[in-house]
């Protein structure tokens, strides 16, 4: 995505939101301020305030892009010279080497279809959301402007989203009437400077008094930590595919995945492609739910409908086509795990091989053929849906 510069404000009470081009993976990421104030002293004071314009903008962000919701607040505080949070923000990197800042050709070079799809989706969102923000800020009075009269573009929005998605923790948030709590992403200054390890020497403890709305977050050592040793936390067992894009599954989406037995300690992650059902119902339902942004629309359908390929795009044509394309991308990945192509296999058979080798080659040919058939069928279904949608729009 092209990275544009924001014109530096000349006013004394503004900090520029300029976001430089992404640093290379091997380069050192400098801080926004090379010699920041005392962080320890700063953390002992007040809490941040809310802003109605930011709240309205945050409500327009899809739940899956949770980092952008919190990122708006981060960007506001970065713009304000008087920000209470500046000692923390000044320690954040000026740039991030995540794929949303790659040029188009470099995104293609990732060659991992699900990731490329998600990166492109987020780039499109940032460009569209830039216009949404500009409309919201247009004609605002000076005192009502959340970014001290500075422009906000896709680059600065991408910076804040990357900062949040790479540093936020999932903690227990709002308590529901039934006693359960919704997990919520939160930024924890100082705590987020702890490194990750699967064998940590400390853990995060979350406490809240029954009669108080205030929450206390502590880092408690699990083993003796020597002076100058790093404090290590376990960030959690997350797939590496999630980190470059900041994907966060909403609580309601996770609930559906639990019903499909795709999350949790006893989860069954084995799904099938091909055969009478063509696509495993659990996989199809999971993708439909994960690609949906409207919880209420999903809950209008029972699980059997969401798992059925014969269901007529229950969550809409755009959702259905995206689900098909994701499965096709998974098929491409599955084919790439075979070191040879079908034509090469057929050529080997013609050269004459032993009976056992012939059986092995025939087996892998059939496996590849099943995958290709799935791809062909889903491609046909996607084209048919798009054709119907175009016809409906023209009508």
pLDDT digits (tens, 9 = 90+) for 269-295: 888 888 888 999 999 999 999 888 778
Question: Model-level pTM greater than 0.75?
Answer: no
User: What's the rounded mean pLDDT across residues 131-138?
Assistant: 91
Distance between CA atoms of 217 and 136, rounded to whole angstroms?
A: 34
Distance between CA atoms of 309 and 277, rounded to whole angstroms?
A: 8
Phi, psi of 221 (to 5 degrees): -70, 135
Would the pLDDT of 387 be above 60?
yes
Would the pLDDT of 90 be above 50?
yes
Helix runs in the chain, H state only:
39-42, 52-58, 66-79, 86-89, 104-108, 113-137, 154-167, 251-259, 281-290, 295-299, 303-307, 317-336, 342-350, 355-394
Distance between CA atoms of 40 and 308, rounded to whole angstroms?
A: 55
Q: Which fold has domain 39-167?
A: set domain protein methyltransferase, domain 1 (3.90.1410)
Distance between CA atoms of 95 and 19, rounded to whole angstroms?
A: 7
- The token duo for 306 is 């969401």
Distance between CA atoms of 214 and 62, rounded to whole angstroms?
A: 27
pLDDT cut 70: percent of the chain above it: 77
pLDDT cut 90: percent of the chain above it: 21
User: What's the rounded mean pLDDT across residues 359-388?
Assistant: 90
pLDDT in the model for residue 306: 94
Would the pLDDT of 376 be above 90?
yes
Would the pLDDT of 227 be above 80?
yes
Number of H-type helices and E-type strands within the chain: 14, 6
Would the pLDDT of 237 be above 90?
no
Parallel/antiparallel/unpaired status of strands 169-175 and 181-186: antiparallel
Highest mean pLDDT among 11-25, 30-44, 54-68, 375-389: 375-389
Higher pLDDT, 369 or 33: 369
Q: Which fold has domain 250-389?
A: set domain protein methyltransferase, domain 2 (3.90.1420)
Phi, psi of 381 (to 5 degrees): -65, -40
pLDDT in the model for residue 198: 78
- The token duo for 350 is 């013609």
User: What's the rounded mean pLDDT across residues 35-40?
Assistant: 62
Contact by Cβ (8 Å): 70, 85: no
Higher pLDDT, 235 or 319: 319
User: What's the rounded mean pLDDT across residues 73-81?
Assistant: 89
Q: What is the mean pLDDT of the chain?
A: 79
Contact by Cβ (8 Å): 8, 18: yes
Would the pLDDT of 115 be above 70?
no
The boundaries of every CATH 3.90.1420.10 domain in the chain are: 250-389
pLDDT in the model for residue 243: 44
User: Among candidates 24, 1, 20, 250, which has minimal Cα distance to 126?
Assistant: 1
pLDDT in the model for residue 358: 85
Higher pLDDT, 316 or 66: 316
Quickly list DSSP for 273-293.
BSSTTSB-HHHHHHHHHHT--
Phi, psi of 59 (to 5 degrees): -70, -15
pLDDT interval class at 3 (50, 70, 90): very low
User: What's the rounded mean pLDDT across residues 72-83?
Assistant: 89
The boundaries of every CATH 3.90.1410.10 domain in the chain are: 39-167
């Amino acid at each position: 995505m092209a990275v544009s510069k924001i014109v530096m404000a000349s006013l004394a009470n503004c900090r520029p939101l300029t976001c430089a081009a992404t640093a290379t993976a091997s380069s050192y990421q400098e801080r926004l301020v090379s010699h920041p104030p005392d962080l320890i002293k700063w953390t002992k004071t007040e809490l941040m305030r809310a802003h109605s314009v930011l709240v309205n903008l945050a409500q327009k962000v899809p739940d899956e892009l949770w980092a952008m919701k919190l990122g708006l607040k981060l960007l506001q505080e970065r713009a304000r010279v008087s920000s209470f949070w500046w000692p923390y923000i000044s320690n954040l990197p000026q740039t991030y080497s995540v794929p949303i800042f790659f040029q188009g050709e470099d995104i293609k070079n990732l060659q991992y279809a699900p990731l490329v799809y998600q990166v492109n989706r987020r780039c499109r969102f940032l460009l569209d959301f830039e216009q949404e923000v500009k409309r919201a800020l247009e004609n605002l009075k000076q005192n009502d402007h959340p970014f001290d009269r500075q422009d906000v573009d896709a680059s600065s929005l991408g910076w804040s989203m990357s900062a949040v998605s790479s540093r936020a923790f999932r903690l227990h948030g709002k308590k529901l009437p039934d006693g359960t709590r919704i997990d919520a992403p939160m930024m924890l200054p100082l705590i987020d400077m702890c490194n990750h390890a699967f064998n940590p020497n400390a853990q995060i403890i979350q406490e809240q008094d029954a009669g108080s709305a205030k929450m206390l977050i502590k880092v408690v050592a699990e083993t003796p930590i020597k002076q100058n040793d790093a404090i290590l936390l376990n960030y959690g067992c997350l797939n590496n595919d999630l980190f470059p894009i900041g994907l966060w599954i909403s609580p309601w989406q996770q609930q559906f995945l639990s019903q499909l037995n795709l999350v949790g300690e006893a989860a069954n992650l084995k799904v099938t492609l091909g055969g009478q059902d063509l696509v495993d119902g659990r996989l199809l339902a999971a993708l439909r739910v994960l690609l949906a942004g409207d919880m209420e629309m999903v809950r209008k359908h029972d699980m059997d409908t969401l798992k059925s390929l014969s269901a007529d795009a229950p969550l809409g044509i755009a959702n259905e086509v995206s689900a098909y394309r994701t499965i096709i991308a998974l098929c491409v990945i599955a084919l790439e795990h075979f070191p040879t192509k079908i034509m090469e296999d057929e050529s080997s058979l013609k050269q004459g091989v032993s009976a056992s080798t012939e059986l092995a080659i025939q087996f892998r040919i059939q496996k590849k053929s099943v995958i290709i058939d799935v791809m062909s069928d889903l491609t046909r279904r996607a084209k048919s849906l798009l054709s119907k949608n175009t016809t409906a729009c023209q009508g």
